């Protein structure tokens, strides 16, 4: 059996190695357009920022090492330019010398990945404008930083690459601005959760301009102007990190069916619409595990799993890909932000009737030094309590908790069953009631009616004259900041001061994190009142509202030229 693989990074290299482990006799050839294989795409920003200092660390294998270990012929700087499915051949161009030749195959695997989105706007071809997708891109940015000593950079796009690169350029001492056309960074997070990400970025000296679209570029002596609507920013360099689109021109030319965002349609076995051709990775459409709808989720984890599954089926082992949760995590200076499943926007678009809990647990036991607060949001289906997704932002233990919830979703667990998970505990690592358990307890309280909630989105519509607004924090906390119209009765004084509250009116309760207000709600309910607890607490409200104000504010001082 002869297998040709197009693309030698995550999907292609993984598939090649798996095929070899399953079939020692197979002839395997990989054609990679760039000059590198099996490189750590996710590590590229950290080389630019000198976190990774040895460029050889970016490549997990070389063509020579791959040949020695797996007996796979890796051809770099070779681009497959045509596929003839009926003849089962590919046409290949040697990008070093221009030679064009043909190769036959029994099985063909496409793993071409994705390409950076480059808008067709004036000045976009300037030598001071970069993209970051390949090792070559990385070296171009690094060489420019070393030779030109830029003092400022503008990152256009607020996704994973844009944020990671912004942090690393900031570490080199540059003044960094992130420009994003949407009203928030990282669209996989809900806007309220993204407010914590925005705060961390601003606190580390990065200018954040949301709801701003780039209309063009103009080179000036020693720099480049980024043109916005009626405004412009002068910078030494700019990086386009708008996102990626599937690299599927070859597949379309060969007649393969494509779908969402032009991605290749493949079945559970990673087979395309054309016999003997498979596809994996960032070029492929997958099923959203929650909604069942087609999605484009360009992440390394799914790409590697798809590659293994395709290799299994090429070697006649029955294997299938069940869809993607899009589980992801990102380091943002000292902060960690992670998500799995779907967010509110996706749930609404899919017509799912959902509910959520928001909590602020400690990363480990409060009495053990070094504990940090994290913010968790867990979404679940209202009637069935099916787990839909989670977002967690904090400084320690975030990745552990998101992985637990991702596993629970894949296992088909009910949201209330999170309370039953038996998770490891020692004071330096967790609490006896782990944050995931706490989320489960809250959802269970929602299920049995013990917890009634209200949210930021409800605030404007509360019947102010027909309800009681109650803040149960201490007097000192209340004086430092509170929501207008709220009456302050500390939770420890509530039982004695119940006569101050009108019994016939519903009571909307808030505290700093949601715990004391929940206790107050139970006191009120037990005394004949109807009480609703604010999800997330005043710290959540304060951060969201501050971020909203900053987003709506004018252009940052000193940048409007």
SS3 385: coil
Give the SS3 label for residue 110. Answer: strand
| 42 tagged catalytic | yes
Q: Under the phi-then-psi rule, with left for phi > 0, alpha for psi from -120 to 50, and beta for the rest, what region is 208?
A: beta
Using DSSP's 3-state secondary structure scheme, residue 61 falls into coil
In the chain, how long is the greatest CA-to-CA distance? 89
Cα distance between residue 287 and residue 267, in whole Å: 9
Sheet holding 375-381, edge to edge: 328-332, 335-341, 387-394, 375-381, 354-359
List b or e across 178-206, with b for residues whose CB sees 16 or more CB atoms inside 10 angstroms.
Answer: bbbebebbbbbbbbbbbbbbbbbbeebeb
Helix axes 435-448, 398-410, angle to 10 degrees: 50
Q: Is 123 helix (H, G, I), strand (E, B) or coil?
A: coil
Residues 242 and 154: beta-carbon distance below 8 Å: no
What DSSP string runs through 287-348?
EBTTT--EE----HHHHHHHHHHHHHHHTT-------B---EEEEETTEEEEEEE--HHHHH
State the Cα–Cα distance between residues 270 and 284, nearest whole angstrom: 9
What is the DSSP-derived secondary structure letter of residue 264? B
Residue with tokens 């912004």: 166
For 354-455, where are the alpha helices, taking DSSP H only?
Answer: 398-410, 435-448
Element housing 145 (H / E):
helix 135-148
SS3 379: strand
Q: Cα angle at 322 between 316 and 323, to 5 degrees?
A: 130
Q: Exactly one of 42, 467, 511, 557 is catalytic; name it.
A: 42
Task: Read off the DSSP letter of residue 369.
Answer: T
Strand duo 453-454 + 277-279: pairing: unpaired
User: What are the DSSP calls for 199-248, one per residue?
Assistant: HHHHHTT-EEEES----EEEEETTEEEEEETTEEEEESEEEE-S-EEE--
Residues serving a catalytic function are 42
């Amino acid at each position: 059996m002869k297998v040709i693989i197009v693309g030698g990074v995550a999907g292609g290299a993984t598939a090649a190695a798996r095929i070899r482990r399953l079939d020692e006799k197979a002839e395997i050839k990989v054609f990679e357009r760039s000059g590198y294989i099996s490189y750590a795409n996710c590590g590229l920003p950290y080389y630019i920022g000198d976190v990774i200092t040895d460029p050889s660390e970016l490549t997990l294998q070389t063509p020579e090492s791959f040949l020695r270990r797996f007996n796979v012929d890796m051809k770099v700087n070779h681009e497959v330019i045509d596929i003839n499915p009926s003849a089962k051949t590919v046409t290949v161009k040697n990008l070093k010398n221009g030679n064009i030749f043909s190769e036959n195959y029994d099985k063909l695997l496409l793993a071409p990945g994705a390409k950076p989105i480059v808008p067709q706007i004036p000045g976009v071809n300037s030598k001071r404008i970069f993209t970051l997708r390949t090792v070559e891109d990385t070296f171009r940015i690094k060489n420019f930083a070393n030779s030109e000593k830029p003092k400022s950079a503008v990152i256009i796009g607020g996704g994973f690459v844009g944020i990671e690169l912004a942090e690393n350029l900031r570490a080199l001492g540059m003044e960094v601005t992130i420009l994003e056309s949407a009203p928030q960074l990282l669209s996989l997070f809900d806007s309220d959760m993204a407010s914590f990400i925005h705060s961390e970025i601003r606190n580390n000296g990065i200018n954040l301009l949301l709801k701003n679209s780039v209309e063009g570029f103009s080179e000036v002596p020693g720099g480049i102007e980024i043109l916005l609507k009626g405004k412009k920013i002068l910078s030494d360099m700019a990086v386009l990190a708008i996102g990626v689109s599937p690299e599927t021109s070859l597949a379309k030319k060969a007649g393969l069916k494509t779908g969402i965002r032009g991605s290749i349609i493949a079945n559970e076995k990673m087979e395309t619409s054309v016999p003997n051709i498979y596809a994996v990775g960032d070029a492929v459409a997958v099923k959203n595990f929650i909604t069942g709808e087609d999605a484009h989720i360009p992440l390394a984890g799914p790409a590697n799993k798809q590659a293994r599954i395709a290799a299994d089926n090429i070697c006649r082992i029955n294997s299938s890909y069940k869809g993607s949760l899009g589980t992801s995590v990102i380091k943002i200076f000292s902060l960690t932000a992670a998500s799995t499943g779907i967010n509110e926007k996706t749930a609404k678009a899919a017509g799912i009737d959902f509910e959520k809990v928001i909590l602020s647990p400690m990363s480990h036991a409060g009495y053990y030094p070094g504990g940090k607060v994290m913010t968790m949001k867990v979404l679940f289906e209202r009637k069935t309590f099916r787990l839909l997704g989670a977002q967690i932002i904090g400084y320690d233990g975030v990745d552990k908790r998101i992985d637990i919830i991702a596993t629970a979703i894949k296992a088909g667990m009910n949201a209330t069953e999170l309370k039953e998970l038996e998770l490891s505990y020692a004071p330096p690592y967790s609490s006896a009631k782990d944050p995931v358990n706490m989320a489960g307890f809250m959802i269970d309280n929602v299920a049995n009616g013990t917890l009634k909630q209200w949210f930021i989105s409800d605030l404007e519509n509360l019947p102010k004259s027909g309800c009681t607004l109650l803040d149960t924090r201490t007097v000192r906390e209340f004086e430092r900041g509170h929501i207008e119209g709220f009456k302050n009765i500390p939770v420890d004084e509530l039982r004695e001061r119940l006569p101050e509250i009108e019994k016939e009116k519903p009571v909307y309760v808030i505290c700093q994190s949601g715990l004391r207000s929940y206790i107050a709600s139970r006191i009120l309910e037990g005394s004949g009142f109807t009480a609703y607890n604010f999800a997330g607490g005043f710290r959540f409200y304060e951060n969201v509202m501050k971020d909203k104000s900053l987003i709506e504010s004018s252009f940052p001082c000193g940048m409007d030229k």
